[in-house]
Amino acid sequence: MSDAPRLAITLAQLAQFDEIIDARSPSEFTEDHIPGAVNLPVLNDEERAQVGTLYKQVSPFAAKKLGAALVARNIASHLEHYCLDKPKSWRPLVYCWRGGSRSGAMVHIFSKVGWRAEQLDGGYKAYRRAVLAALETLPAQYRYRVVCGLTGTGKSRLLSALQHLGAQVLDLEQLAAHRGSLLGNLPDAAQPPQKMFESQLWAELQKFDPSQPVYIEAESKKIGNLRVPDSLLDNMWQSRCIRIEAEQQARVTLLKEEYTHFLQDPAALNAKLEFLTGLYGREIISRWQQLAHSGEWNTLVGELLERHYDPAYTKSMLKHYPRYDEGLILQTDDLSEARLAELAARAIAWP
């Protein structure tokens, strides 16, 4: 085991280290990890399963012998490759599932080399508990300006313009890799696991200055398959709103730009539209599917906005945001980058 002192878990201490090393298996790392950590597994998924099976079916002693050989071999590989150019002053923090043997073995060897390696007490489990506790209280430390607007009004682009001007922005849809609607899956990115989403959210919240507002897009309780923490939603719902209003043609043009993958694959869009059959009936869904098949995109997008998206969005806003009607209104028929930069400047200047 390690000769180094073990740390009591505090999230603030993580920034004190040159690097954070996750010694767990790749599948554990994929499900969730400390943001910014690098995965140097001491046992890969197959090896971990092999050792676990030996532990149950033969004996703990047999499992420990095999595990020690595998761990030593893997740590040696990391030393020969990833760690080869690390200076003597390098100070890594290493963790595994519970802060036990896997991270302990790596810290022990690193310490013998001469690096100031330390082990995270309690490991990932303690980190996860701390993140969940922080997400209960951290959102309340900030003042939010909630960007609202019907589908296609450029809310995400306005957030980007705000960020470009130096404002604090929390882009939940970017963290969730989803645009927040039935058709919101990104074509080139899967959503992260729920735990990873929460870790990324915690990491973003930590960066903000409580004396300055945080701009955030209005969202429902779920973004795709991911749940937004109640504590954050509660604070958003009580916040002031910035409402962007745009002409329908500008909205249609923007949506065709952002959902070009559906224009290129109408069959994929029509498969999604099937989920709306219970709401609108077979006749309307068949009409929309035919419009997609025929490439009549302006008509289809316009009807989807009028029949589905606009009523649902307006109902949700009035239900959850009591200050929705008293916010700043940004009206435009131009959703170009230059125009959104002007609107972002107006939003920042709003007292």
Is residue 297 assigned to a domain? no
83 is catalytic: no
CATH number of the domain residue 37 falls in:
3.40.250.10
Instruction: Give the whole-angstrom CA distance, residue 351 versus residue 348.
Output: 8
Task: Select from 248, 252, 241 the least CA-distant residue to 317.
Answer: 241
Task: Give the residue from 67, 99, 133 where a domain finishes.
Answer: 133
Assigned token pair, 207? 């960066």
Asked whether residue 253 falls in the same domain as residue 105, the answer is: no
What's the confidence (pLDDT) of residue 9?
53
Asked whether residue 120 falls in the same domain as residue 73, the answer is: yes
Asked whether residue 119 falls in the same domain as residue 185, the answer is: no
Query: What stretches of 31-106 adopt beta strand conformation (E)?
Result: 38-39, 92-95
Asked whether residue 17 falls in the same domain as residue 116, the answer is: yes
Instruction: Give the whole-angstrom CA distance, residue 240 versus residue 213.
Output: 10
Is residue 223 assigned to a domain? yes
Asked whether residue 29 falls in the same domain as residue 99, the answer is: yes
What's the confidence (pLDDT) of residue 254?
97
CATH number of the domain residue 213 falls in:
3.40.50.300
Size of the chain, expressed as the number of residues it contains:
351
What's the confidence (pLDDT) of residue 36?
96
Catalytic residue among 83, 96, 148, 241: 96
Task: Give the residue from 75, 105, 133 where a domain finishes.
Answer: 133
DSSP labels, 105-155: HHHHHHHHHT---EEETTHHHHHHHHHHHHHHHGGGGS-EEEEE--TTS-H
Q: Which domain holds residue 83?
A: 6-133
Collect the ranges in the chain with pLDDT lower than 50: 1-7
Task: Select from 188, 206, 160 the least CA-distant residue to 34.
Answer: 206
Number of domains present in the structure of the chain: 2
270 touches 294 (CB < 8 A): no
What's the confidence (pLDDT) of residue 5?
47
Query: In what helix (H) or strand (E) does residue 222 lie, and over which residues does it extend?
Result: strand 222-223
Asked whether residue 317 falls in the same domain as residue 201, the answer is: yes
pTM: 0.92
Pairing of strands 226-227, 222-223: antiparallel
Asked whether residue 64 falls in the same domain as residue 21, the answer is: yes
What's the confidence (pLDDT) of residue 4?
47
List the helix and strand counts (H, then E) for the chain: 16, 12
Asked whether residue 88 falls in the same domain as residue 211, the answer is: no
Instruction: Give the whole-angstrom CA distance, residue 37 versus residue 3.
Output: 23
Instruction: Give the whole-angstrom CA distance, residue 145 versus residue 245.
Output: 16
What's the confidence (pLDDT) of residue 23?
98
Is residue 296 assigned to a domain? no
Assigned token pair, 147? 């960007």
